[in-house]
Amino acid sequence: MALGLRPGVLALKDGTVLRGRAFGAAGSSDGEVVFNTSLTGYPEILTDPSYAGQVVTLTAAQVGNYGITEADLEAARPAARGLVIRALPEVVSSWRAERSLEDYLSAHGIPGLCDVDTRALVRHLRTAGAQPGLLWSGHPGQAPDVDALVARAATLPTMHGQDWVTRVTTPTAHAFAEPVAPLAGEPPVFPVLPRPQVRPHVVAFDYGAKRNILRLLVSAGFRVTVVPAATSAQDVLAQRPDGVFLSNGPGDPAACTDMVAEVGRLLGKLPVFGICLGHQLMALALGARTYKLRFGHRGGNQPVQDLATGRVHVTSQNHGFAVDPAGLPPGLSVSEVNLSDGTVEGLRAPGHRAFSVQYHPEAAPGPHDTRHHFLAFRRMVLGLEPEEGLPS
């Protein structure tokens, strides 16, 4: 795959301009410019619905070397609105590859930018904060109008107050029955299930759910029904489920007021487990507050400490908002914290039979340190005592 000499530009809202070489689809796309520090997993990152409305910068030195494989994708199409990388290899080298990264982005109308000093861009975003930007990808020989791009970028809205969930949620309720398929030689995902003959029914709110989260619910022994984000508590209870799952998703949690209200109507009636945006919506429903982080947590190397056990886990994360630990309502407590900045990574509400984590225990991509939360949820749903040494 010989790369053509196509010009490309990234213009940030604060006037910063980075030039590079375009790949993927020609055209322009805007969104909040963020960075992810994972060394691998670009197919999963691009298709994670939590990246809706964002242009993703990857800090790995080379991206695209193992191509794209359908089995790795977290959704039917990319959610990220653009991709910024340092180096795009001309050769795809993997026996699993079904197409190149450039072909995949082109097919879905997503522009990319390579040959960018991503180290400088990430340092700027860490200092100035994640911010809106405009990625322009030209045709060969086409010259960008940089002044016009900068002017357009200056008018872009921030992520504050934006509800992106309604753009990524499933349109209809449906059953999901696909378990995790370990690669050859890998051990089983969950070697021992409590009462394996029982398959409790869980309703999973799709706020932008990743496939691998749903797969792990299935592998943990649940019968899963996925429902649209706007589903009412009344409709959920009518299905007589044994538990409720609140998925990850994009945007500002405080903008999802109707969803927060419906979660509030379910808490205390059924066991509830939330991940990422679901964690934030659960917190809001119980009376907590959320706020925007300067540049967020995105990557597969975030250290988190469980306050009950003292155990430290390496986690996969993707979020720009967090729960404010100040003024938590009675009955809601912090269970895990980020060791890099002290932010809230887990919440427990025992009186409501509810718990949540800010990170992604399904870890696609990332380490598998925290998959035990799916089994903890199963034990909660079945009314079993927590497994010794693991969260309840």
Q: Determine contact, residues 264/293, Cβ cutoff 8 Å.
A: no
List strands edge to edge, sheet with 354-357: 174-176, 223-228, 201-206, 243-246, 272-275, 354-357, 344-349, 333-338, 290-306, 312-323
User: Strand ranges (DSSP E) for 287-374?
Assistant: 290-306, 312-323, 333-338, 344-349, 354-357
3-state secondary structure of 133: strand
Both structure tokens of 65: 């070397």
Asked whether the bond before 140 is cis by omega within 30 degrees of 0, the reply is no
CA torsion angle 59 65 70 71 (round to 10)? -80
The most distant pair of C-alpha atoms in the chain lies apart, rounded to whole Å, by 66
Closest CA to 33 of 108, 113, 102: 113
Distance CA(82)–CA(10), nearest Å, equals 10
CA–CA distance, 211 with 170 (Å, rounded to integer): 12
CA–CA dist 101, 56 (Å, integer): 14
Q: What is the DSSP letter of 150?
A: H
What is the set of active-site residues?
276, 360, 362
Q: Parallel, antiparallel, or unpaired: how do β-strands 344-349 and 333-338 relate?
A: antiparallel
Question: What b/e sequence results for 284-313 when a residue is b if at least 16 CB atoms lie within 10 Å of its CB, and e otherwise?
Answer: bbbebebebeebbbbbbebebbbeeeeeeb
Tokens of 227: 């429902």
Closest by alpha carbon to 176, among 202, 197, 137?
A: 202
- Backbone torsions φ then ψ of 93, nearest 5 degrees: -130, 90
Q: Are 284 and 253 in contact, with CB atoms under 8 Å apart?
A: yes
Alpha helices in 267-333 (DSSP H): 277-285
Distance between CA 86 and CA 93 in Å, rounded?
Answer: 18
